[in-house]
A and B are shown apart, each in its own frame.
Chain A
Amino acid sequence: MHDISDYLTADHHHCDDLFAEAENAVANDDWQTAMTQFKAFEAATLLHFTREENILFPAFEERTGISHGPTAVMRSEHVEIRETLQGMTDALASRNADVYLGLAETLLMLLRQHNTKEEQILYPMADQALADNAGVMVLEMEALTA
């Protein structure tokens, strides 16, 4: 069963699409659209983090007994990503396309490496460790809203 992997990986792709829309809008100097798309991207990303930090990680840590392992690394990477998102919000507010695009490039690398680690390693581990409860957990994560 890959319920957890499938659900959270699809969530990653959803965030990626919103990211690209916002970036394309900034590159086209369309600040109105950029603002809307960025807010949507930011909200989706933060919601994704909440799904992991409030539901997946605690369940994984409890089941496997590993609390200073991959989940700790993922939490600390979330902090870095949140901080970069804040920098992008500031750049949007001051309509500074160069700073926004530079940070967007940086964030994308940060985010996609982070996602790769989760998709290749953490989620498959979670699929295995939490197989008996995966369906319920996916519903719980889906029920969370911004």
Chain B
Amino acid sequence: MAESGLSYDQGPPFGAPLRYFLVAPLFILLAAGLGTLLPDWLTTRWSPISLALTHLVTLGYLAMVMLGALLQMLPVVLGTPVPAVRLVGWLGLLGLSIGTPSLALGFLLGEPLWLYAGIWILAAGLIPFSIAISVSLIKTAAPLVAWPIRQAALALVITLLLGILLAGAFASLWPVSAITELTALHAAWGLIGWVLILIIGVAYQVVPMLQITRPYPRWLTHGLTWILFLGLLLISVATQVESMASFGLLGTLLLSASSIVFASVTLRLQAGRRRKLPDTTLNFWRFGLASLIFSALVFPVLHWLPEDWTDAAEISLGIAFLLGFVASVVGGMLYKIVPFLAWFHLKTQTHAKVGSIPNMKQMIPDNLARIHFRLHLASLALLLPTPLLPTPINRYASIAGLLLLAASAIRQWLNLLQAKHLFLKHGGYLD
């Protein structure tokens, strides 16, 4: 234990997480462009373009930012450095940057070879990454903090394995029965196991820290992610063992209820915050949590919805969860992480005086972050109801929504680049 504490100032070099953050918005831009050209995603989540867009967003943007942030966060909150962080950082970055477009192309063209190449490139990048973070998750002296991140990392590996299984089935390398059920599990482990549990684990640390709120209650931090994990196990068993099919609904309700509890408690903590200043990151969080509650309410309703409505509701649910919840929280966090790291590394590298280098709010000014937030809101206001609208109105609304989404991604990208530019201009170097 003492030994792990010895090295706990060893965050990665600035370039390692920053590259992830700078590549990520480009995938939203790509997704928005493709979605505008190929409107079939409006009709069903199973269309090739829907599958391509889902993976561009989840892997290209969300996983990209989340993995970059983990590289940075783990040494701080766990007190153990990520081993071989440069190598692992590059492998993860290349795996996601090359594997994701390849996978998306495989879906679009219905070409097993691209699909298959994509999934193995992703695996080649993500498996070393998972092993490296597992080492710091196992060695840590702070197990309570580590548990949600451990659960999330395990869920990521399960998601990846299910993805490999499914890609192999598409490529006719091996037979898989019940592809629909396995796809549902792949999505559930990815979105709830990996994404939601990780966000919850990170929220326990950063929500009280950013706004100075009371800490999360103990009953929540000790139990909530375990209940989510249990819910995932229940729906997994239900799809595989016929006699236990009724567990599926129970699992779904557990997942929804836990999500609502997490979002409500977080909103309450934030309402009682000590810092009263307007804050774009806080706005992103609040909108994200509202979207999570909305998603958690819609999710169980899918069970009872008339079939005519299922396709449209599923697409809206996907947009609400991925863009409304996850992309908001993740995007908001970048406005704390990137300006701080730019300041911190600049300070450490140049030994400059505090007043002589840009502070956090100068690295990315509030008003620029706010423009990103407003574009993001406007795009979602159009995209969320779009699948439910009649043709051709849905077509026009979706184009307008996607153009706004593209604009928000460009604003975000320029904002992040500005921090990098100021960092370099004041004598910082990326290693």
Chain A bound to chain B: yes
Chain A positions near chain B (C-beta within 8 angstroms) = 16-17, 19-21, 23-24, 27, 64, 66, 68-70, 73, 76, 80, 83-84, 86-87, 90, 98-99, 101-103, 105-106, 108-110, 112-113, 116-117, 120-122, 124-125
Which B residues lie within 8 Å of A64 (CB)?
2
Partner of A106, one of B5, B78, B360: B360
- Asked, given contacts A16-B274, A66-B2, A121-B79, whether A105 binds B141 with beta carbons under 8 Å apart, the answer is no
A19 CA / B5 CA spacing, docked (Å): 28
Is there an interface contact between A116 and B76, defined as CB atoms closer than 8 Å? Answer: yes
Is there an interface contact between A19 and B212, defined as CB atoms closer than 8 Å? Answer: yes
Partner of B5, one of A70, A87, A105, A108: A70
A-B contact pairs, 17 of them (CB 8 A): A20-B275, A27-B276, A70-B8, A86-B354, A87-B355, A90-B355, A101-B277, A101-B361, A102-B362, A106-B359, A106-B360, A113-B76, A120-B78, A120-B141, A124-B141, A125-B1, A125-B141
Is there an interface contact between A17 and B274, defined as CB atoms closer than 8 Å? Answer: yes
A83 to chain B, nearest CB (A): 5
Residue of A nearest to B208 (CB): A112
Is there an interface contact between B347 and A80, defined as CB atoms closer than 8 Å? Answer: yes
Is there an interface contact between B76 and A105, defined as CB atoms closer than 8 Å? Answer: no
B138 at the interface (CB under 8 A from A): no
Most buried by A among B340, B344, B354, B355: B354
B244 at the interface (CB under 8 A from A): no
Residue of B nearest to A19 (CB): B212
What are the nearest 5 A-B pairs in CB distance?
Answer: A20-B274, A102-B359, A102-B361, A87-B354, A120-B142
Is there an interface contact between A106 and B209, defined as CB atoms closer than 8 Å? Answer: no
Most buried by B among A17, A76, A113: A113
Which B residues lie within 8 Å of A80 (CB)?
347
A61 CA / B359 CA spacing, docked (Å): 34
A56 to chain B, nearest CB (A): 14
Partner of B275, one of A23, A86, A117: A23
- Asked, given contacts A105-B359, A109-B360, A120-B145, whether A66 binds B212 with beta carbons under 8 Å apart, the answer is no
Is there an interface contact between B344 and A110, defined as CB atoms closer than 8 Å? Answer: yes
B241 at the interface (CB under 8 A from A): no
B6 at the interface (CB under 8 A from A): yes
Q: How many residues of B contact A (CB 8 A)?
A: 34
Is there an interface contact between A103 and B212, defined as CB atoms closer than 8 Å? Answer: no
A7 to chain B, nearest CB (A): 17
Which A residues lie within 8 Å of B209 (CB)?
108, 112, 116
Q: Which of B268-312 contact A (CB under 8 A)?
A: 274-277
Is there an interface contact between B79 and A117, defined as CB atoms closer than 8 Å? Answer: yes
A29 CA / B51 CA spacing, docked (Å): 52
B86 at the interface (CB under 8 A from A): no
Which A residues lie within 8 Å of B249 (CB)?
none
Which B residues lie within 8 Å of A109 (CB)?
336, 340, 360
Partner of A116, one of B5, B77, B353: B77
B61 at the interface (CB under 8 A from A): no
Is there an interface contact between B205 and A116, defined as CB atoms closer than 8 Å? Answer: yes
Residue of B nearest to A23 (CB): B275
A23 CA / B273 CA spacing, docked (Å): 13
- Asked, given contacts A99-B359, A106-B340, whether A23 binds B277 with beta carbons under 8 Å apart, the answer is yes
B264 to chain A, nearest CB (A): 23
Is there an interface contact between B354 and A84, defined as CB atoms closer than 8 Å? Answer: yes
A135 CA / B159 CA spacing, docked (Å): 49
Residue of A nearest to B276 (CB): A24
B181 at the interface (CB under 8 A from A): no
A101 CA / B362 CA spacing, docked (Å): 10
Which A residues lie within 8 Å of B9 (CB)?
73, 76
Which A residues lie within 8 Å of B2 (CB)?
64, 66, 69, 125
Is there an interface contact between B360 and A98, defined as CB atoms closer than 8 Å? Answer: no
Is there an interface contact between B275 and A24, defined as CB atoms closer than 8 Å? Answer: yes
B129 at the interface (CB under 8 A from A): no
Which A residues lie within 8 Å of B354 (CB)?
83-84, 86-87, 103
Which A residues lie within 8 Å of B359 (CB)?
99, 102-103, 105-106
Is there an interface contact between B360 and A105, defined as CB atoms closer than 8 Å? Answer: yes
Which A residues lie within 8 Å of B343 (CB)?
106
Digitize B19-37: 1 where CB-to-A-CB distance is under 8 Å, 0 elsewhere. Answer: 0000000000000000000
A113 CA / B209 CA spacing, docked (Å): 8
Q: Which of B119-155 contact A (CB under 8 A)?
A: 141-142, 145
